Structure 1
Amino acid sequence: ELSQSEQGVVIAKVDIDEFRQLAIDHQVTHFPTLVLYKNQQEVARQVGFLEKPALLSFLKAHK
């Protein structure tokens, strides 16, 4: 839903049980974790659940 309403945003969900090394490589130690990248560089990180309004605000703040 968010990936359709937020133009230019790609959202990916990763199963860390299956891709454990990916979590290690990106220093994800708590769940859920949202990591935003721009031009292959991390620009923001949010650890913990966000309700939809807070998530939209977080995305817009780092666009």
Structure 2
Amino acid sequence: MSEPEIVADEPIHVDSVEHFKAVVDREGVVLVDFYADWCGPCKMLEPIVETLAAETDAVVAKVDIDEFQQLAGAYQVQSVPNVVFFADGEPKKRVVGMRGEDVLRSVIEDLSS
């Protein structure tokens, strides 16, 4: 039995390690925003990832590094914001620090083609 398809026009807040795996193991591009509530640049990035969730075919997931230190460690997240792009279940690209929408959108487009 296959997982139900995840269709989202807004970011998915990961609530468990199993949930994270179900989200990133899907076909297509998944943008994972590793963030922290205390991180100023993360707050500046939030409207950008919300726009990308609404306007692109990529699924956008948000992972709180304080709540999910195991996931942050597994993906070598040493500073935030830290965006990891998955394609077909595999991490393909990482963008660290505050970046503009155009940079993140171009990564999604590159991985989608």
TM range (shorter): 0.7 to 0.9
Question: Please, what TM-score do these two structures have when normalized by structure 2?
Answer: 0.50
Question: Please, what TM-score do these two structures have when normalized by structure 1?
Answer: 0.83
Note the residue ranges of structure 1 that are not aligned, 5 or more in a row.
none
Aligned to 1:29: 78
- Aligned equivalents of 1:28, 1:51: Cα separation in 2: 20
Aligned to 1:53: 102
* Structure whose alpha-carbon radius of gyration is higher: 2
Runs of 4+ in 1 over 3 A off after TM superposition: none
What is the CA-CA distance between 1:58 and the residue it aligns to? 2.5
Normalized per residue, the structure richer in strand is 2
- Aligned equivalents of 1:42, 1:32: Cα separation in 2: 16
Higher relative contact order at CA 8 Å, sep ≥6: structure 1 or structure 2? 2
Does residue 5 (structure 1) correspond to residue 46 (structure 2)? The answer is no
What is the CA-CA distance between 1:48 and the residue it aligns to? 1.1
- Aligned equivalents of 1:61, 1:50: Cα separation in 2: 16
Note the residue ranges of structure 2 that are not aligned, 5 or more in a row.
1-50
Normalized per residue, the structure richer in helix is 2
Does residue 17 (structure 1) correspond to residue 54 (structure 2)? The answer is no
Identical amino acids, percent of aligned pairs: 35
Alpha-carbon contact 1:44-1:62 (below 8 Å) kept: no
